[in-house]
Structure 1
Amino acid sequence: MTQTQVDPSAMDGYEQLLAIGDGRLPPPPIAETLGLVNFGGERGAISVELTPELRHYNPLGSVHGGVLSTMLDTAAGCSVHSTLAVGEGYTSLDLTVKFLRPATVESGLLRAVGKVIQRGRRTALAEAQVFDAHGKLVAHATSSCMIFS
């Protein structure tokens, strides 16, 4: 049990994400490490945001592809997570990313928007896109996930 006395094992995936969003469950450590904020959405479609900082840069002077990939993986994966029944789990099988333009601190708030394309009993296919503050598409990904109980 967490300090707020909620039991994540008694919640479905969407309820778990809501509990993280409202502070009843702690956020995943990677969210704090990177500065991922504003998790939200609905069942099957989850978004997350990040304000680019110099600490996110690669040697070329733009946001590292790993940071963008983590945003995409989070949005796609959490979209699948939001469809889980009580007692179900999932793991990513793959993540295919396409980078379309560089992101920098001048890009402003980055928003990754994910959605489930197909959800079966054992696998799910999801996609995610990262947009900059001006609505320009920065990166796109697809992810296959394995569902288990």
Structure 2
Amino acid sequence: MAIETAQFTVDRPGRFMGVGIEVADDASVSVTQPVGPHLFDHRGQTTLASVGVFTDFAAGAPAGLARFAETGDRPQTVLSHLTATLAHPFPTSGTLVGHGSSLFFDESTAVSGTDVRNEQGALVAHLVGRSIVVGRTPMEVGAETSEAVPERDEPEPWSDAAILAELPGLDIVTGISTGTLPRGPLAGLLGLEVTAAERGVVQARLSPREWMANVIGSVQGGVLVSMAEVVTGLAAQTLTGIDQDYRVLEIGLDYLRSPAVPGPVIELRSEAVRAGRRLASFETTLCAADGTVYVRAHANVQLLSRA
């Protein structure tokens, strides 16, 4: 069964981030998102967190479309797991393009794979997403929505690289927690507040915002990617010395529950479970105040000298 439309529904977080998606064929999609200073981290860099919303479409849509093309069935699905392996650095400007394909699907689960490239065609990330069927309500392929998208506030500042190069990483994160150093545009967009920091451990919190809601009133899975990667990066920053930097190499997330929008405060914690000279591993959780776990993530991070 051919998919006649060249468009796919983009939810509120996707439209807020400028995500575009087109059906390439019966089992693959092309997803785009512009990047720029409004999505920088505290270092003035683009990271996976900058395009978290993008990953939800790129890793989840292809297998669902393949199921529809073959069977005509359009059940409601959500990502249950995402793995992102990073390659070339993310660009600071321009548009990222993800080409995603269906790898497998059956009646209850599906797997998609996506290569994400910059405008020069260099690979910046490879995504693998597993989705599960959660309902039989048809998804609207090609439907448009008139739901208003909140306007972005003026981006918050980030720190000059020369300033950060002279500080131990723990001092940087402590400065962010006290407000003496800026948290960066993306953390500002998320409303993330660092509440505690020590070597190898960072705790933070945020309240779900209106723009984060998907069509069923929960925080979109890609927004959860952004939350997890931001706090993991800050925990990695605490391990760096003067004139050192860090880079997330891969991260895997298990989506366990969906926070509501509006909803209670989300507590974030990232802790190093192994820290060597060049590589560190982190366990990161997103929880409710009562201990309910929304997301559990594992990441490997490279520790390196500043360029």
What is the TM-score normalised by the length of structure 2?
Answer: 0.45
**2:292 maps to 1:136:** yes
Deviation at 1:8, TM superposition (A): 2.5
Whichever residue aligns with residue 56 of structure 1, its letter is M
Q: Give yes or no for contact 1:38–1:48 (8 Å, CA) kept in 2.
A: yes
- Taking the TM superposition and a 5 Å limit, the aligned residue runs for 1:81-96 are 81-96=237-252
> Which 5+ residue runs of structure 1 have no aligned equivalent?
none
CA offsets 1:33-89 (integer angstroms, 9 cap, x no match): 111123422111101111012221112220011221122112222111101111111
Cα distance in structure 1, aligned partners of 2:188 and 2:237: 19
Cα distance in structure 2, aligned partners of 1:118 and 1:72: 18
Dislocated runs of 4+, deviation >4 Å: none
- Structure-2 residue corresponding to 1:71: 227
Deviation at 1:97, TM superposition (A): 0.4
1:108 is paired with a residue whose SS is coil
What is the TM-score normalised by the length of structure 1?
Answer: 0.89
Worse-matched range after superposition: 20-29 or 121-130: 20-29
- Taking the TM superposition and a 5 Å limit, the aligned residue runs for 1:1-149 are 7-105=163-261, 107-149=263-305
Q: Give yes or no for contact 1:45–1:116 (8 Å, CA) kept in 2.
A: yes
CA offsets 1:6-34 (integer angstroms, 9 cap, x no match): 93222100001111222222111101111
Cα distance in structure 2, aligned partners of 1:123 and 1:55: 35
Cα distance in structure 2, aligned partners of 1:60 and 1:125: 34
Deviation at 1:147, TM superposition (A): 1.1
State the number of aligned residues.
Answer: 146
> Which 5+ residue runs of structure 2 have no aligned equivalent?
1-157
Which structure is higher in RCO with an 8 Å CA cutoff and minimum separation 6?
Answer: 1
Deviation at 1:113, TM superposition (A): 0.5
Q: Point out the structure with max Rg over C-alpha.
A: 2
Identity %, equivalent residues: 27
2:187 is paired with a residue whose SS is helix
Q: Give yes or no for contact 1:48–1:71 (8 Å, CA) kept in 2.
A: no
Q: Give yes or no for contact 1:102–1:138 (8 Å, CA) kept in 2.
A: yes
Q: Give yes or no for contact 1:77–1:143 (8 Å, CA) kept in 2.
A: no
